[in-house]
Amino acid sequence: MTRILVVEDDPSIRMGLEDTLKAKGYEVDVVGRGSEGADKACSGHYDLVVLDVMLPDLDGFEVCRRIRATKGAARSVPVIMLSARGAELDRVRGLELGADDYVTKPFSLMELLARVASVLRRAHGEPQEPTGLAFGELVIDLTGQVATKNGVRIEMPSRAFAILKVFAKRPGEVVSRDTLLDEAWGYEDYPNTRTVDNHLVKLRRAIEAEPDKPRWLVTIHGAGYKLDVPREAVRFSGRPGFPARGQ
């Protein structure tokens, strides 16, 4: 399980962050002082540190400096800094000290969750970038945003290609609505889950022979959606040629 350390002196913000991150399935520790945060962060037990700048005793800049100066795995732990100070020089200082992202207060918890997910993905290494899909009668060029069915071009909006790319990174796996929101929309343009459902309905109409009885893009009740194709149906960057159609 991904472990996150939150270093924040404001009790209400600290509690909100703890509850929200735990609800997303993360294991969370919280502290309110910079010195304690530095000691915990340097222990090497965490996958991410969410760090406020304005702290009693040590400020967040000094905590970040100590993390990057330590030895072992803790030195490279990702850090997201939080601050009500939005001045460009403060942001630059945080990034120069080794922070991976800098979020200015006030912020929405949904935005912070998206940034947490994005930083963790970068830290753990992005998966190979899918460039195409071929299954059934469909051939989809994700890079050029061209799709054909039985050799005839079909029209799909750009958002549909973005959604298909999210699924192509995880062929045959369940993908939650939150993951689709994060990766197909991003935190700069975050819609609600109903918007995701509406786009999935339109996507089914484009790729399914019977949209009301989907073969490829199936709903996993209570969990999300799955593009039910084998990994061989996906073309990844760096792999020449297009795969044979799956299933």
| Residue 246: inside a domain | no
Q: Are residues 12 and 61 in the same domain?
A: yes
End-to-end CA distance of the chain: 34
**Is the CA virtual torsion 236, 240, 241, 244 positive or negative?**
negative
Q: Are residues 23 and 103 in the same domain?
A: yes
Nearest to 203 by CA among 144, 133, 131: 133
| Residue 82: inside a domain | yes
Domain of residue 211 covers 130-236
For the ranges 57-66, 94-103, 108-117, 174-183, the one whose mean pLDDT is highest: 57-66
Task: Give percent above pLDDT 90 in the chain.
Answer: 59
Q: Where does residue 49 rank: exposed (0-12), middle (13-18), buried (19+ CB within 10 A)?
A: buried
pLDDT range class, residue 128, cuts 50, 70, 90: low
Asked if the model's pLDDT at residue 196 lies above 80, the reply is yes
| Residue 23: inside a domain | yes
Query: Which two tokens mark 159?
Result: 């958002």
More confident: 6 or 122: 6
Q: Are residues 68 and 119 in the same domain?
A: yes
Q: Are residues 88 and 109 in the same domain?
A: yes
Asked if the model's pLDDT at residue 21 lies above 90, the reply is yes
Rounded Cα distance, 92 and 106, in Å:
19
Domain count, the chain: 2
Q: Are residues 137 and 119 in the same domain?
A: no
Q: Are residues 97 and 153 in the same domain?
A: no
Task: Among 109, 124, 139, give the residue marking a domain's end.
Answer: 124
| Residue 13: inside a domain | yes
Q: Are residues 120 and 158 in the same domain?
A: no
CA dist 86 → 91, 99, 231 (Å): 7, 15, 44
pLDDT range class, residue 242, cuts 50, 70, 90: low
Q: Helices (H), strands (E): how many in the chain?
A: 8, 13
- What's the CATH code of the domain at 101? 3.40.50.2300
Q: Each residue of 147-179: pLDDT tens digit?
A: 999 999 999 988 999 999 999 988 898 988 888
| Residue 242: inside a domain | no
Asked if the model's pLDDT at residue 245 lies above 60, the reply is no
Query: Which two tokens mark 36?
Result: 């304690």
Rounded Cα distance, 217 and 231, in Å:
15
Asked if the model's pLDDT at residue 183 lies above 70, the reply is yes
| Residue 204 φ/ψ region, left for φ over 0, alpha for ψ in the -120 to 50 degree band, beta for the rest | alpha
| Residue 241: inside a domain | no
Task: Among 82, 97, 124, give the residue marking a domain's end.
Answer: 124
Q: Are residues 153 and 119 in the same domain?
A: no
Mean pLDDT of 43-66: 94
- What's the CATH code of the domain at 209? 1.10.10.10
| Residue 152: inside a domain | yes
Q: Are residues 8 and 117 in the same domain?
A: yes
Task: Among 97, 124, 151, give the residue marking a domain's end.
Answer: 124
Q: Are residues 119 and 37 in the same domain?
A: yes
Residue owning tokens 């460039």: 131
pLDDT value at position 86? Answer: 66
> Any idea which of 94-103, 177-186, 232-241 has the lowest mean pLDDT?
232-241
Q: Are residues 66 and 20 in the same domain?
A: yes
| Residue 243: inside a domain | no
Which one-letter DSSP state was computed for residue 156?
Answer: -
- The reply to whether omega before 106 is within 30° of 0 (cis) is yes
Contacts of 216 (CB under 8 A, 6+ apart): 135, 136, 207, 208, 227, 228, 229
Question: By the 8 A CB rule, do 196 and 167 touch?
Answer: no
Q: For residue 227, count other CB atoms closer than 10 A to its CB.
A: 25
Query: Which two tokens mark 221?
Result: 């009740």
Q: Are residues 120 and 216 in the same domain?
A: no
Query: Which two tokens mark 52?
Result: 């406020």
